[in-house]
A and B are shown apart, each in its own frame.
Chain A
Amino acid sequence: MKKLEIVNKVAEDLKIPKKEVKKVVDLMFEEITKAIARGEKVEIRGLGSFRLKRRPSRFIRNPRTGEEMFIEEKYVPYFRMGKLMKKALNSKKS
């Protein structure tokens, strides 16, 4: 399923103009991204939560040339599924 399909379904189900729904949906994922970048935990009940994780700087070695390279530290988003989701995915499996 893609974003556009979600927008269409929400507009139809809630009887709100598609244009307005799209604006809200775009802003919503933008706000979540910003919050994660600020280091805030974003928790969506049922689905899971997002956090920011730090990947420390490190040296790596190119195995072919033996050349050493420095990789700067970086921050990456990290998602952890919620308990309800975990339960749902693993209870009705065939």
Chain B
Amino acid sequence: MTKKDIAEQIADAEDVFLSKKDVYRIVSHVFDIIENSLRSYEKVQISGFGTFMVKKRKAKIGRNPKTGEEVPVPDRYVLVFKPSYKMLNMIDMMRKRK
């Protein structure tokens, strides 16, 4: 599923009166805003869905699993997503219904 698929499904919902194009513009813009916020290391909290946040991982000594050679891994930033309980419950419920 991509942004386009998401937009198409929403545009088809009966209580949405916007055009497919406008829905796509909204979906796309929402992700742009989320991305921009994260790029400045600010977390984004979507209630009912989850939280995106940037975390710092400390430098460590890695090892090449094939050769056993030690490789330094510098400090780095990762984007993590923490699902909300509502989302976890929804997924659990949908899986059990099957």
Contact = CB atoms under 8 A, between A and B. Distances in A.
Contact of B33 (A9, A86, A93): A9
Interface in A1-17: 1-3, 6, 9-10, 13-14, 16
Interface in B35-92: 35, 37-39, 41-50, 54, 75-81, 83, 87-88, 90-92
Contact of B35 (A20, A50, A85): A85
A47 B43 CA distance: 13
A24 B45 contact: no
Contact of A14 (B17, B25, B34, B92): B25
Contacts of B83: 76-77
A6 B33 contact: yes
B10 A47 contact: no
A14 B27 CA distance: 11
B3 to A, nearest CB: 6
Contact of A34 (B34, B46, B94): B94
Contacts of B77: 89-90, 93
Contact of A31 (B9, B45, B78): B9
Given A75-B91, A90-B76, A28 B35 contact: no
A28 B18 contact: no
| B16, B42, B79, B80 interface centre (most CB from chain A within 10 Å) | B79
11 contacts: A1-B44, A3-B46, A13-B29, A21-B26, A33-B91, A35-B1, A43-B1, A47-B31, A76-B83, A85-B39, A89-B77
3 closest cross-chain pairs (CB), A and B: A79-B81, A81-B79, A37-B94
